[in-house]
Chains A and B, each alone.
Chain A
Amino acid sequence: MSSSSHWRTRRQRLALVGEQCPHCQAMLFPPRDICPSCHGPAKEPYHYGGVGSVYSFSEVYTAPDAYEHYAPYVVALVQLEEGPLLTAQLTDVEPEDVYVGMPVEMVTRRLRAEGPEGLISYGYKFRPVPERVAAH
């Protein structure tokens, strides 16, 4: 990922900022200039809460360049509670524990690094909602 592309997408990657169409209220992630539902201009930022559930998932054994170091890893389509579906890795989870419908929440993690010299790419991943132990 180039510096400029990194910079342009920083709010989406790090803070899950998408859009809500001001005309038809469609919830959009990732952000785009034209609403796919009503075709009007869509530029209202919307900060997603990061809570969702697994719509589908796979475990990647043969990873693309720069991701081999992390393989195997789980990728998923995650349905945000506000509606949009997005593609992301799952983390802090054993592949055999993942199921369709599993509640997950957004975390920010390393996606990859361009070797020891290059930029580190951070972005959203999802993980199972941690269990809470009883209060003291």
Chain B
Amino acid sequence: MRDVCIAGIGQIAVGEHWDRSLRDMAVDAVVSALNDAQVERPQMLFVGNMLSGQLSLQENLGALVADYAGLRGIEAFKIEAACASAAAALRLAYLAVAGGMCDVAVACGVEKMTESRSDRVTTALATAADAVYEAEQGVSFVALNALLMQRYMHQYGYRREDFGGFAVNAHANAAGNPWAMFQRPITPEQFATARLIAAPISLLDSAGIGDGAAAVVVMPADLAGQPPRKPVRIRASASATDAVALHDRRDPLVLDAAALSAGRAYAEAGVGPQDVDLFELHDAFTIMSALSIEACGLAPRGHGVGLAKEGAIALHAAHPMSTMGGLKARGHPVGATGLYQVVEACLQLRGEAGVNQIKGASLAMTQNIGGSGANVFTHILERCW
């Protein structure tokens, strides 16, 4: 296995891009990343995406994006792992380069969510769950997370308001991210009184969905290292699965796949949770943040919420999280979100995070969760220039 670096990054702002198609956005991110890496032509392109077939009636994204990016002829295909599709694309690029199958691979995540009516989007998102035993029962994806949150509150004695710290932190950080969808802070009071969408989950527990695309160029460390590039080394890339249906889990309040993938990543990188300078976690819902924190060993069971309450996740606190706004406030283009996390971690490690810069950040972790915890990818990234 070769050491692998991210040699270039690209992203477009997350938002309602009425004037841009699925392919436009993907091409923009891919070209930006290639330009950033000063590479003309990769050998492989992996496109992470969840919903293009359902919302845009477009599949075969590998060939489509390769062609429109001027890369006709290269190896390219789409990879899907629900909301973790983009991290899955990165994992493929990592495997291809680390294994010596190619020297330049691009991982791109793209999602076009404004092409359909909202009830269609609700239905499409529910395909991340078990179609027969969850979605057919009328359970939306939000409701699955609400079931987790309700149980968590019951089991550990929390109130809705206790989860507000995650959203408040994310919005505060998004205010400093020009690519974020919601560049404005919110108050705990706004959080407490927000409209419920599936009790106890409110609008402000939930990541806003939007259109977006992000991409990275992956190269072997020995080729990526020449200045003026600022390569970021992939210290660990790990993924693990769990039952798709919540009701089939060993314990619904324990994200086994998140714990497994984080554990594998820690072992691969030879680091522990306390060594990480920042954590881009999968804050699609505040409850997912809490469960992810616990699974990654940053807090004991039932105490994940405590970290947000104590302010420990703020930019300059002990465990900075969602440093550019997270899924919550940067916006959550589902099949692209995992690469936004990685691009943002790279910005921090490259010292390019602007007003949100965490001084001296050298080790970052990203965790991208597909479904309600069924398919989880953890990456550990390190500054190496």
Q: Tell me if chain B binds chain A.
A: yes
Give A residues with C-beta under 8 Å from B.
Answer: 1, 5, 9, 30, 36, 55-65, 67-68, 70, 73, 75-77, 84-89, 95, 100, 111-112, 121, 123
User: Which residues 174-230 of B have a CB within 8 angstroms of A?
Assistant: 196-201
Q: If A56-B151, A87-B133, A87-B134 touch, does A63 touch B122 (CB 8 Å cutoff)?
A: yes
User: Which residues 122-142 of B have a CB within 8 angstroms of A?
Assistant: 122-123, 126, 130, 132-140, 142
Stretch at the interface among B79-87, B90-98, B240-248: B240-248
Question: Which residues does chain A contribute within 8 Å of B238, judged by CB atoms?
Answer: none
The complex places the Cα of A55 from the Cα of B197 at a distance, in Å, of 20
Majority secondary structure of chain A interface residues (helix, strand, loop or mixed): strand
State whether the Cβ of B119 lies closer than 8 Å to any Cβ in chain A: yes
Residue of B135, B151, B248, B252 touching A64 (CB-CB under 8 A):
B135
Total interface residues on B, CB under 8 Å, equals 37
- Does B151 contact A77, Cβ atoms closer than 8 Å? yes
- Does A88 contact B137, Cβ atoms closer than 8 Å? yes
Question: Which single residue of chain A is at the shortest CB-CB distance from B133?
Answer: A30
Give B residues with C-beta under 8 Å from A.
Answer: 118-120, 122-123, 126, 130, 132-140, 142-144, 146-148, 150-151, 154, 196-201, 243, 245-248, 252
- Does B136 contact A65, Cβ atoms closer than 8 Å? no
- Does B143 contact A75, Cβ atoms closer than 8 Å? yes
The complex places the Cα of A57 from the Cα of B142 at a distance, in Å, of 12
Contacts A62-B119, A62-B142, A65-B122 known; 6 new A-B pairs at CB < 8 A:
A56-B150, A58-B147, A61-B196, A64-B123, A65-B123, A77-B247
- Does B138 contact A84, Cβ atoms closer than 8 Å? no
Question: Which single residue of chain A is at the shortest CB-CB distance from B126?
Answer: A64
The complex places the Cα of A75 from the Cα of B145 at a distance, in Å, of 11
- Does A89 contact B138, Cβ atoms closer than 8 Å? yes
